[in-house]
Amino acid sequence: MLDNQSKRTLTTTVKLEEGESVGGVFFGGTPGDYIALKIDGVEVHRQNFTGDQSFQTIRLDGQNAGEHQLVISKTTPGRNAWVDGLFRFTATAESLGPKIVNRKHYKEFLDDRYLWPAQDPRWLDSLQTRLTKRWAFDDVKFPKAWTKQGRAFGEGPVTKPIAKQQAIRGPAFGRFVNSYHGGDKSVGRLESPTFVLNGEPIFMLVAGGKDCNKVFVGLEVDGQIVQRKCGKRDEELRAVSLSTKKWKNQIARLVIVDKDTRPWGHILVDEIVLAADGPSKSEEVNRVESPKP
C-alpha cells in the first residue's frame, strides 16, 4: 500500500520490453489523481483515478522497448491513494481466453480482470465473444432491471464485510452482493430480468450459508427453481455453475434468496456470467453463423 500523504508525485523508472505493460491495482484516490507512463517526460499512457472506493485494475501499455518513467500523481493534499502489486507483463487481446464453458475458463476470466481495466475496448471486445451476459455487481446500485425485496441486500453491492461479518476470502473484485445487511436475521430477495437460456452454463462466485433451501442462488424456469447453489457456511467466494442444457430456449431468471434468519443466514454473490452461445474455439472449424437473439 502506498500512503503518499506527504508527496504529491512519486516517480520511478521501469524498463519495458517490446509489447510489455505495467499492471497492478488501485483503491480509492480522488478524481484528478492518476498513474502514468512517460518516456523522456512525455506521457504515453495514463489512467485517471475516479475516487470510487473499490478495487480497480491498472494497465498501462509501454511504447516500444526501453526506459519509461512510472508516475503516480496525487492532487489533493491529505487524501490518500492506494496503489498495490505493480508488475510488468505481456498480455495481448489474442491471449484472452476462449468462450467460458468450464470452471477453468471461468477462473482464467476472473484472473484476467486484474490485467484489463473494465473499460478497455480490447477487454470489452473479448467479453463480447465469450459471454452473453455478465453481472459484475461493480456499481453502487444493483444492475438495471434487477428487482429487490426485503432489507438483507441493502441498497446495492458492497466492497467489504458489513459490521461484524468475518473477512471475505476468494476472488472478490470491485463490489459484490451481500445479504448480511441487518445481520443474519434479515431476509430479502433479488431477481434478475428474464432471459432466454442458450444451453450454456452460468458461472458465479458464491459464499455464505449452506442451507440451500433457505439461502441460495436459483435458476427459475416457469416459476420453479430448477437449480440452486449456496455457500459452505463460510465467507469464501467459490466458483460454482448452473447447467442450463435441459431448459435450452426457455425463458428463465436468476434469483438470489435469503429467507434464513438463523446463524449463517446470509449469502454473498459476485461475477455472474452466462457463456456465449455458438461454438467454442475448438469447434470453430465447423462454425455456422447464427444471428444473436
Could you list the residues that contact Ca ion (CB under 5 A)?
Answer: 184, 258, 260, 265-266
Report how far apart, in Å, the C-alpha atoms of 109 and of each of 134, 211, 271 are.
12, 28, 10
Provide, rounded to whole angstroms, the least separation between the CB of residue 152 and Ca ion: 5
How far is Cα of residue 87 from the mean position of the Cα atoms in its chain?
20
β-sheet with 55-61: strand ranges across: 55-61, 21-28, 81-89
Query: 52 or 260: whose CB is closer to Ca ion?
Result: 260
Query: 200 or 258: whose CB is closer to Ca ion?
Result: 258
What CA–CA distance (Å, rounded) separates 209 from 154? 18
Provide, rounded to whole angstroms, the least separation between the CB of residue 135 and Ca ion: 21
Provide, rounded to whole angstroms, the least separation between the CB of residue 82 and Ca ion: 32
Residue 21 β-bridge partners: 61, 89
Q: Is residue 268 within 8 Å of 209, Cβ to Cβ?
A: no
DSSP for residue 37: E
Provide, rounded to whole angstroms, the least separation between the CB of residue 208 and Ca ion: 9
Q: Which single residue brings its beta carbon nearest to Ca ion? A: 265
Provide, rounded to whole angstroms, the least separation between the CB of residue 177 and Ca ion: 13
Sequence-ordered list of residues with C-beta below 8 angstroms from that of 8, at least 6 positions apart, any chain: 73, 74, 75, 77
Query: 235 or 260: whose CB is closer to Ca ion?
Result: 260
Query: 110 or 268: whose CB is closer to Ca ion?
Result: 268
Query: 23 or 188: whose CB is closer to Ca ion?
Result: 188
Query: 39 or 162: whose CB is closer to Ca ion?
Result: 162
Query: 129 or 261: whose CB is closer to Ca ion?
Result: 261
Give phi and psi for 94, each to the nearest 5: -65, -30
Q: What is the DSSP string of 231-244?
A: --SEEEEEEEEE--
Q: What is the DSSP string of 116-141?
A: S-TT-HHHHHHHHHHEEEEE---SSS
DSSP for residue 284: G
- What is the three-class DSSP state of 95? helix
Provide, rounded to whole angstroms, the least separation between the CB of residue 262 and Ca ion: 8
What CA–CA distance (Å, rounded) separates 16 from 68? 7
Provide, rounded to whole angstroms, the least separation between the CB of residue 209 and Ca ion: 8
Query: 201 or 265: whose CB is closer to Ca ion?
Result: 265
Sign of CA dihedral 117, 120, 125, 128: positive
Provide, rounded to whole angstroms, the least separation between the CB of residue 150 and Ca ion: 9
